[in-house]
Amino acid sequence: MKKVIGLFIVLLLLVSVAVPAEASFIYDTKPIIVDGKELEVAVLVAPLPYTIGFSGIGSEEDTQDDMDNQSWGKLYIFAELSKVDDQNVYFKFINTDPSLSPSSITEVYFDDDVFEAGANVLSGPLLDNSSAGVDFDFGGSNSKPPRGTNLVPQWKKDQTDFSALSTAPTSGNGVNSISEYFGITFAGDYDSVVSALDNDTLRIALHVQSFPDNEGSMTFINNAPEPATLAMLALGSLCLMRRRKK
Q: Where are the domains of the chain?
A: 2-45+231-243, 50-226
69 SS3 class? helix
pLDDT in tens, the chain (246 residues): 555 444 444 444 444 433 433 334 445 566 766 666 666 666 555 567 899 999 999 988 899 989 999 998 889 999 999 999 999 999 999 999 888 778 999 999 999 988 887 779 999 999 999 999 999 999 876 678 999 989 988 887 667 889 999 999 999 999 998 899 999 999 999 999 999 999 999 999 999 998 877 678 999 999 854 444 334 434 443 443 444 344
pLDDT at 9: 42
Report yes or no: 182 and 93 within 8 Å, Cβ to Cβ. yes
Helices assigned H by DSSP within 157-218: 190-198
Q: DSSP E strands: which ranges in 61-179?
A: 77-85, 88-95, 104-112, 123-128, 136-138, 162-166
pLDDT at 224: 52
* Gap between the Cα atoms of 44 and 51, Å rounded: 16
| pTM (2 d.p.) | 0.74
* Gap between the Cα atoms of 242 and 246, Å rounded: 12
Give the count of alpha carbons within 13 A of 228, CB side only.
22
pLDDT at 214: 65
CATH tag for 50-226 (out of 2.40.30, 3.40.50, 1.10.3470, 2.60.40): 2.60.40
